[in-house]
């Protein structure tokens, strides 16, 4: 009564057993050799190395050596995490110093090159030694594995290209100062990996509302003693269901950059997501998240449910709706923490500082551009004055008993058209100024 005993698989490690007489083995957790911090020095010449978007590798500017990174393109298939109670609890209980704490608690990264200790904010993942220029990357910033960056999109736009992109963007549009384009010359672009959360979920919604439908009916008007047609609204309760998938909805994890500016940097193409390697951060700045998982998820959920609401309302083929109610049940919720590349810079123009940002993957530029209001008002004048002048001249000549009625009407039409164009121009200029 015996069988050949099979051994325990070699990659298993013993874990706690709750019963005497039975031992339990589980697969050994993958051994990740991630040091707390790593210096990037060329093994060939000892110079400082950094990630180069052109070579898509860590390169040495001194001897030209190229070091390939151990990373793979995972795109949208990158591992996602569920909202386990552990993750939610950690996101709730982590202290502000641990997660946000910008400028409050700092930690020391010792430069192996020159021995200097560089003090950085806890949200900074990478730094450059101010004394010797050595690049240093901190790999572990948060306790749970899921809360450290696991995937990122590497820089694909080179730093040198930023000034050209900024000049082209500043030169675009005629209602900006003519010499604005020269302001880009002084801009110092800093490449930084910004923290983002991605959220996926399926939202099942059921709605109910009273929908009014227009009915045409005939009635007899006793006053006029004849049949007439009128339209009345017939209200009925209607209901419907909808199921919407949301995949990789981006939510910013930083408070340092204006949300509208980040929105205008979009889109980021997530098919280019690669697994994290500290080498991608060498020579670049990187920021960990300041907006926690729960706060970001609340915001993302708010967006999702509003989209679901709009989709429910779209199902109703009438503009008469009242007592609308709906629910939104979330299912298959998942999240991940990613880093996305961006260049940030400021430039000075007419004594004021303006922010400019460039998408490090696509080269999309967004930022503040001062509006040349003199140009705008001259254009407004040029659009409205012909009509005013023509109508005024026609009115004056009309008062002198000339037949100018047609010219007066033409002047009025010109004025109305010009005023409409001027209003649109002003609106556009105001929006550009606010942006």
**b/e string for 182-208 if b means 16 or more Cβ within 10 A?**
ebbeebebebbbbbbbbbbbebebebe
Which H or E run includes 388? helix 373-399
Residues 46-85 that bind other proteins (CB under 8 A): 82-85
Which range binds other proteins by CB under 8 A, 5-13, 72-80, 93-101, 362-370? Answer: 5-13
Residue 4 in contact with other proteins, rule: CB under 8 A: yes
Residue nearer to other proteins on the CB measure, 4 or 93: 4
222: exposed, middle or buried (Cβ count in 10 Å: 0-12, 13-18, 19+): exposed
Residue 324 in contact with other proteins, rule: CB under 8 A: yes
Q: Which of 178, 327, 392, 430 binds other proteins (CB under 8 A)?
A: 327
Q: Which of 38, 100, 136, 301 binds other proteins (CB under 8 A)?
A: 301
Residue 18 in contact with other proteins, rule: CB under 8 A: yes
Q: Binding-site residue total for other proteins (CB under 8 A)?
A: 41
Q: Which of 247, 325, 392, 430 binds other proteins (CB under 8 A)?
A: 325
Which H or E run includes 124? strand 124-128
Helix, coil or strand: residue 260: helix
Closest CA to 114 of 127, 95, 133: 133
Which H or E run includes 162? helix 159-171
CB count within 10 Å of CB 170 equals 25
Residues 83-122 that bind other proteins (CB under 8 A): 83-85, 88
Which range binds other proteins by CB under 8 A, 20-28, 48-56, 154-162, 254-262? Answer: 20-28
Q: Which of 41, 264, 285, 309 binds other proteins (CB under 8 A)?
A: 309
Residues 26-45 that bind other proteins (CB under 8 A): 26-27
The CA distances from residue 194 to 37, 125, 376, in Å, are: 19, 10, 36
Residue nearer to other proteins on the CB measure, 277 or 333: 333
Provide, rounded to whole angstroms, the least separation between the CB of residue 328 and other proteins.
Answer: 4
Hey, which bits of 182-255 come out as E strands? 190-221, 226-252
- In the complex, the residues that contact other proteins under the rule CB under 8 A are 1-9, 12, 15-19, 21-27, 82-85, 88, 301-302, 305, 309, 323-331, 333
């Amino acid at each position: 009564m015996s069988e050949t005993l099979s051994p325990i698989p070699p990659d298993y490690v013993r874990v706690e057993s709750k019963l005497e007489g039975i031992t339990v083995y589980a697969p050994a957790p993958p051994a990740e050799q991630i040091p707390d911090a790593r210096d990037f020095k060329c093994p060939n010449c000892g110079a400082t190395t950094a990630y180069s978007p052109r070579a898509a590798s860590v390169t040495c500017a001194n001897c030209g050596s190229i070091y390939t990174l151990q990373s793979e393109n995972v795109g949208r298939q990158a591992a996602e995490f569920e909202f386990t109670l552990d993750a939610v609890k950690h996101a709730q209980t982590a202290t502000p110093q641990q997660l946000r704490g910008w400028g409050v608690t700092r930690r020391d990264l010792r430069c192996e090159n020159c021995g200097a200790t560089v003090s950085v904010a806890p949200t900074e993942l990478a730094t450059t030694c101010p004394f010797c220029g050595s690049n240093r990357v901190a790999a572990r910033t948060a306790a749970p594995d899921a809360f450290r960056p696991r995937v990122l999109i590497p820089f694909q736009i080179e730093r040198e290209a930023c000034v050209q992109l900024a000049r082209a963007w500043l030169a675009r549009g005629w209602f900006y100062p003519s010499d604005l384009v020269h302001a880009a010359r002084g801009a110092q672009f800093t490449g930084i990996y910004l923290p983002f959360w991605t959220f996926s979920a399926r939202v099942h919604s059921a709605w109910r509302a009273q929908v009014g439908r227009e009915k045409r009916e005939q009635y007899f008007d006793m006053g006029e003693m004849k049949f007439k047609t009128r339209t009345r609204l017939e209200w009925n309760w209607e209901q419907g269901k909808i199921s919407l998938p949301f995949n990789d909805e981006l939510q910013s994890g930083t408070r340092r950059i204006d949300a509208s500016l980040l929105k205008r940097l979009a889109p980021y193409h997530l098919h280019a997501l690669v697994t994290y390697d500290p080498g991608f951060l060498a020579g670049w700045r990187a920021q960990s998240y300041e907006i926690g998982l729960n706060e970001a998820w609340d915001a993302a959920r708010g967006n999702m449910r509003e989209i679901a609401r709009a989709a429910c309302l779209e199902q109703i083929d009438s503009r008469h709706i009242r007592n609308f109610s709906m629910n939104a049940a979330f299912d298959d919720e998942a999240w991940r923490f990613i880093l996305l590349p961006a260049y940030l810079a400021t430039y000075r123009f007419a004594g004021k500082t303006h922010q400019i940002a460039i998408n490090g993957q696509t080269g999309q530029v967004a930022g503040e551009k001062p509006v040349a209001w003199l140009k705008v008002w001259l254009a407004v004048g040029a659009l409205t004055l012909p009509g005013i002048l023509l109508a005024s001249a026609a009115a004056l000549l009309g008062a002198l008993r000339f037949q100018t009625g047609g010219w007066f009407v033409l002047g009025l039409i010109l004025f109305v058209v010009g005023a409409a164009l001027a209003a649109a121009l002003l609106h556009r200029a105001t929006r550009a100024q606010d942006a």
